[in-house]
């Protein structure tokens, strides 16, 4: 495997992008920042897949492609099985001695939104992980079905106003808690499951490289701040992402072999959850007398989760 030098950002900046501009993603879209950090983490050949969603729709607009490497899209639900099929074929051809360049170690990676991952494509992902394909699944978690106009998904957090859970006089928005996809994927016994955020590039690239070096299915849950649906200005994508990681709304950790949990980032000064919520239009209704208790409840949930993660880490289970 050829590892890109990522000791520091200067070294990393010598890598050549294999994802191209003039795609149709919104200005300031974090999906693209995540894709760059994943692709640039390796010099190996890449075979990519995608489920339907903003990334797929905006980067393969006939007659153009924004991908400089092999790339496949079939449907919303099967980005995972599309790439698992490619991986299985590669393995079979290798075993039969029919590969022209048998020494290459291409990486099989697929991207899906939270809608495609937490909800509609879940069965396919579960199958791929159970079969143990040598692939990386990257969830671009923007907590909403962005591409079709902002419907809630099972990743949408409590209190967010989405088009199918609108906030108003009688509702504070989404009422169900975000699904714990990390625990679910770890429960498959996957060798490596990690949560990342593109603003913490070093942590993210290290996890992606670790994932590439591991044999078997790897799951990466990547926070993707969505300027359009979270309702913040496009230039603030990194600032909002920083608020998410510094407030521990989005903790960064990894789970090895289904059980061993490591926290990989500890903020020096933990910010209040209120700061994160207040920076986004999707939570603006919470800052009223009627719904302010939702913010307090949210802070308690974040505190409890952080406590839980630390205990898991200490106990080495």
Partner 1 sequence: MIENGWNQFEIGSVLRPFSGEVSDVSVIQPEDRLYSASNSFSVSVADWRIEKPLFKKELCIDCQFCWIYCPDMSIISRDKKMIGVDYDHCKGCGICVQVCPTTPKALLMFPEQADEEIELAQWPKKETQETKEN
Ligand X SMILES: Cc1ncc(C[n+]2csc(CCOP(=O)(O)OP(=O)(O)O)c2C)c(N)n1
Residues of this chain that bind Mg ion (CB under 5 A): 113-114, 142, 146
| Residue 228 near partner 1 by CB under 8 A | no
Angle, CA 26 vertex, CA 21 and CA 32 arms, to 5°:
50
Residues 260-289 that bind ligand X (CB under 6 A): none
The answer to whether the beta carbons of residues 88 and 72 sit under 8 Å apart is: no
Out of Mg ion, partner 1, ligand X, none, which partner does residue 148 contact, by CB within 5 to 8 A per kind?
ligand X
Q: CA quadruple 237, 20, 156, 251: dihedral positive or negative? A: negative
User: How far, in Å, CA of 139 to CA of 59, rounded?
Assistant: 17
Total residues binding partner 1 (CB under 8 A)? 50
Out of ligand X, Mg ion, partner 1, none, which partner does residue 133 contact, by CB within 5 to 8 A per kind?
none
| Shortest distance (Å) from residue 29 CB to Mg ion | 11
| Residue 115 near ligand X by CB under 6 A | yes
| Residue 79 near ligand X by CB under 6 A | no
| Shortest distance (Å) from residue 161 CB to Mg ion | 15
| Shortest distance (Å) from residue 24 CB to partner 1 | 8
Which of 1, 17, 166, 288 touches partner 1 (CB under 8 A)? 17
DSSP H or E stretch at residue 47? strand 46-50
CB closer to ligand SF4 out of 114 and 254? 114
23-28 long-range contacts (CB < 8 A, ≥24 apart) are 23/58, 23/59, 23/61, 23/66, 24/57, 24/58, 24/59, 24/61, 25/54, 25/55, 25/58, 25/59, 26/227, 26/228, 26/234, 27/227, 27/234, 28/227, 28/233, 28/234, 28/235, 28/236, 28/237
Angle, CA 89 vertex, CA 257 and CA 38 arms, to 5°:
50
Cis preceding-peptide flag for 148 (omega within 30 of 0): no
| Shortest distance (Å) from residue 114 CB to Mg ion | 4
User: How far, in Å, CA of 62 to CA of 242, rounded?
Assistant: 35
Which of 77, 174, 246, 254 touches ligand X (CB under 6 A)? 77
Out of ligand SF4, ligand X, partner 1, none, which partner does residue 11 contact, by CB within 5 to 8 A per kind?
partner 1
| Residue 165 near ligand X by CB under 6 A | no
Phi, then psi, of 202 in degrees rounded to 5: -70, -45
| Residue 271 near partner 1 by CB under 8 A | no
| Shortest distance (Å) from residue 159 CB to partner 1 | 26
Taking residue 122's Cβ as centre, other Cβ atoms within 10 Å add up to: 18
| Residue 114 near ligand X by CB under 6 A | yes
Please choose, from the candidates 139, 158, 277, the residue with its C-alpha nearest in 3D space to the C-alpha of residue 197. Answer: 139
Q: Residue 143 has which token pair?
A: 């907590």
Binding site for ligand SF4 (CB under 6 A): 25-26, 29, 31, 54, 58, 142, 146-147, 226-229
CB closer to partner 1 out of 86 and 186? 86
Beta bridge partners of 70: 47
Report the residue number whose CB is nearest to ligand X: 113
Site residues, partner 1 (CB under 8 A): 9-23, 25, 27-33, 36-37, 42-45, 59-69, 198-199, 201, 233-239
Site residues, ligand X (CB under 6 A): 52-55, 76-77, 113-116, 120, 140, 142, 144-148, 153
């Amino acid at each position: 495997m050829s590892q890109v030098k990522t000791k520091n950002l200067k070294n990393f900046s010598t890598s050549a992008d294999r994802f191209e501009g003039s795609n149709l993603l919104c200005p300031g879209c974090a999906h693209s920042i995540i894709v760059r950090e994943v692709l640039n983490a390796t010099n190996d050949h890449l075979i990519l897949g995608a489920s339907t969603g903003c990334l797929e729709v905006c980067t393969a607009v006939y007659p153009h492609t924004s991908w400089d490497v092999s790339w496949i899209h079939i449907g919303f639900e099967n980005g995972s099985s599309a790439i698992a099929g490619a991986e299985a074929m590669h393995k079979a051809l290798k075993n039969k001695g029919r590969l022209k360049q048998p020494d290459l170690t291409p990486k099989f990676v697929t991207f899906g939104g939270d809608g495609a991952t937490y909800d509609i494509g879940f069965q396919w992902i579960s199958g791929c992980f159970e079969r143990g394909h040598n692939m990386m699944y990257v969830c671009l978690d923007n907590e909403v079905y962005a591409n079709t106009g902002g419907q809630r998904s099972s990743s949408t957090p409590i209190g967010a106003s989405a088009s199918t859970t609108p906030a108003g006089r009688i509702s504070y928005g989404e009422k169900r808690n975000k699904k714990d996809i990390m625990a679910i994927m770890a429960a498959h016994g996957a060798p490596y499951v990690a949560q990342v955020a593109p603003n913490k590039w070093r942590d993210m690239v290290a996890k992606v490289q670790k994932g590439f070096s591991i044999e078997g299915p790897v799951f990466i849950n990547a926070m993707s701040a969505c300027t359009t649906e979270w309702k913040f200005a496009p230039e603030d994508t990194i600032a909002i992402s920083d608020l998410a990681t510094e407030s521990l709304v989005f903790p960064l950790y990894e789970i090895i072999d289904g059980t061993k949990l490591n926290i990989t980032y500890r903020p020096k000064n933990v910010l209040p959850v209120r700061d994160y919520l207040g920076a986004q239009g999707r939570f603006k209704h919470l800052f009223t007398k009627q719904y302010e208790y939702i913010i307090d409840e949210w802070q308690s949930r974040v505190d409890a989760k952080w406590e839980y993660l630390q205990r898991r880490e200490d106990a080495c289970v």
